[in-house]
Structure formats: structure tokens, C-alpha cells
Homo-oligomer: A and B are copies of this chain.
Amino acid sequence: MSVLPTKRVRIYDVAQAAGVSVATASKALNDTGRMTEETRSRVKEAASSLGFRPNAMARGLIQRRSFTVGVLTNDTYGRFTLPLMAGVSEALVDQGVSVFLCAIEDDPALAKIHVDAMLDKQVDGIIASGKRIDRQLPVDLTNLSVPVVYAFTKGPDDAVSLVSDDAEGSREAVEWLKGLGRRRIVHVTGPKTFASVEERAGAYRASVGDGARVLYGTWSEQWGHEAVAQIWGEDGDKPDAIFCGNDQIARGVVDALRERGVSIPGDVSVVGFDNWEIVAAATRPPLTTIDMNLKELGREAGRLVLALAAGATVEPGIRKLPCQLVVRQSCGGMPRS
């Protein structure tokens, strides 16, 4: 049976069907106002049997909100944004809130257009996100008429920010390696200019203590190869573990080690960072790595922005969310329960 797209049923129709006024119908459906329980349920029944769904624009016009939040990102490739976005969406969907995704590509003009469009549409709030935790988006989001939460990107000092706890993740990786009996742990990571690189390296040094060694490079497999060539080209003891700044470097390291005949995890354990499924799972052997819990970060960002929109006051500042070690086979060791 094909149902033709029929005219939307309005609250007027519901009221009529239930034999009450529009005002009463509205109050019945929203569980506000005063009326007998009998009236309320009669209205609700009428509504559901008619398939009534309130027009969000009409409702939003008067309530001055749209049940909509915007996610702004310059992470075109979506490596970080998508899990985050999935979390946001998940946290909001059961509140009836939908998510605008705006890719702004580091273009200030484009960013402004998107922000203006979102404000015109009366978004309840904005979540700013990016591909770097230590860079601001190319657009000023202060003094907007709606709350803003920064997730995985830098905001003004007095803003509400959510980031993954790089230091904690780093520590977790090193502790895991130490727990496996590894003693000569090297850290091969990205460019010094990234705040998260220094953050992770710092925690690594603190956790390893004497003998800590950090090699800075780029975020590429290529660099993983080069780092291995460099280390294995030297005299003296070789490391028995390499903690990498991201999964791409880790993959390069693993490939380079394998090509040298070094056994993983027999001779050397390797840990990555990011848990970028496609890289981590395809590496031989699959990478044990640190997951930044971006989805959870997204959920939290969604909850926060909605709370702010509802008028809650939230202590400004940076909230760090814990990472999580994902055990595969590049270290040995069993998955923790």
C-alpha cells in the first residue's frame, strides 16, 4: 500500500479530533498546563493516531531555539571530525537535536558564511572542532549569541574546551610497555611544533626516566622508516620498544623493522597513537595503539553545548578526557579485561 505524501497534520487537526482547543492540545502534548489526565491522554491519542509531528520551525520561532547545533571543522579529511561528529550526534539525537556539519577548510570567509548561516538558523549552540588541538579556527566565535564549545581544537582562554589527555595516553602506552618488561623504550613522533607532540613526549620522558629518547619528524610512514634506519644504523643496544606519535609513523616503523628482520613483538614492541582503524588494523602485525576516545569526546561536547544552551553555567577551561589503550598484536601481551 503506497501512502501518498499527504498534507502535514497540524496541531489544529489534533485539537479538533480530541475536541479541545489548540491551546489545550499544545499543553497536553508538552506535559505543561493544567487539565485532567483524561483530557491529556485523549489529546495524546488523537495526536499519535493522526501521526502528528509538530512543525519545528513554528515551535522554534516562539521558543527561540531550533533543536539544532552546528559543528564547525577544518578537518577536511575527517579523520578526527567524523568520530567526534558521531559522538555529538549520538548524544543529541534522543533530545531531537540535529547536527549541521560545516567544513570550512581554513578559509575565514567561508567560515564566516557558515557561522552566519547557522546563527540565522538559530542554532542552539556551536561546537568548534579541528584537526589540531593547538590551533584556533580561522574565525572569531566569541560574543556570539549562542554557546560555543571547543572540542579537539584550541579556543580562547575563557572558553569551554574539551581535548583528549595526550599526556595520560602517553603515560598509558609507556606503562603498558614497561609492564611487558620493556626497558629501552624510544619515542618516535611528529613535529615539535605540535603541542600534542610535546605533551606526549613530556609524559613519555617523565614515565621512562633515564634513557628516554625522542625523535621528532613528520606524521608520515616515511618518517617511521627513516627513524628505524637511523636507530638501527647506530652502534650499541637497540631499543626493545618504540612508542610512536601516531599510527602512520608506527606503521612505517613496523614495516621498516620487518624488512630488517626484526621480530615484532618478539624483539621489539611497537605502540601507535590515534587508533586509526584503517592503518592500525592493516599493519602487520596489527598495532596496539592509543585511542583518543573522540566519540566520547563528541558526546561530552554535545551534552555540554546543550546544557549551556539550556542556561546551565559551566566552568570555563580545558577539560581533558582520558585516552584508552587498544591492544592488538604489535606488543605482545593480552587485552586487558
Task: Verify B78–A98 contact, CB threshold 8 A.
Answer: no
When chains A and B are docked, how far (Å) is the Cα of A53 from the Cα of B112? 13
Closest to A79 in B: B278
Secondary structure at the A interface, as helix, strand, loop or mixed, is mixed
Per-residue interface assignment for chain A, residues 238 to 265, with 1 indicating a CB less than 8 Å from any chain B CB and 0 otherwise: 0000000000100100010000000000
Decide: A100 near B103, CB < 8 A? Known: A4-B143, A221-B282: no
When chains A and B are docked, how far (Å) is the Cα of A49 from the Cα of B100? 29
Query: Quick one: which of A69-96 are within 8 Å of B by CB?
Result: 70, 76-78, 82, 85-86, 89, 93-94, 96
Report how many copies the assembly holds. Answer: 2
Stretch at the interface among A58-66, A125-133, A161-169, A207-215: A58-66
Query: Quick one: which of A1-60 are within 8 Å of B by CB?
Result: 2-5, 8, 53-58, 60
When chains A and B are docked, how far (Å) is the Cα of A221 from the Cα of B284? 10
Q: Tell me the A residues contacting B by CB distance below 8 Å.
A: 2-5, 8, 53-58, 60-61, 66-68, 70, 76-78, 82, 85-86, 89, 93-94, 96, 98-103, 110, 113-114, 116-122, 142-145, 220-222, 248, 251, 255, 277-279, 282
Closest to A222 in B: B282
Task: Verify A121–B67 contact, CB threshold 8 A.
Answer: yes
Sample (21) of A-B pairs whose CB atoms are under 8 Å apart: A5-B143, A5-B145, A53-B120, A54-B120, A55-B120, A56-B121, A56-B122, A57-B121, A57-B122, A67-B121, A68-B100, A68-B121, A76-B82, A82-B82, A96-B117, A98-B100, A98-B114, A100-B100, A100-B101, A220-B282, A278-B279
When chains A and B are docked, how far (Å) is the Cα of A85 from the Cα of B73? 13
Decide: A3 near B116, CB < 8 A? Known: A56-B122, A110-B93: no
When chains A and B are docked, how far (Å) is the Cα of A98 from the Cα of B68? 11
* B residues in contact with A86, CB < 8 Å: 76, 103
When chains A and B are docked, how far (Å) is the Cα of A255 from the Cα of B221? 14
Chain B proximity of A122: nearest CB distance (Å): 6
Task: Verify A82–B77 contact, CB threshold 8 A.
Answer: yes
* B residues in contact with A248, CB < 8 Å: 278, 282
Chain B proximity of A256: nearest CB distance (Å): 11
Task: Verify B282–A122 contact, CB threshold 8 A.
Answer: no
* B residues in contact with A116, CB < 8 Å: 53
When chains A and B are docked, how far (Å) is the Cα of A54 from the Cα of B121? 9
* B residues in contact with A82, CB < 8 Å: 76-78, 82
Task: Verify B66–A57 contact, CB threshold 8 A.
Answer: yes
Task: Verify A122–B55 contact, CB threshold 8 A.
Answer: yes
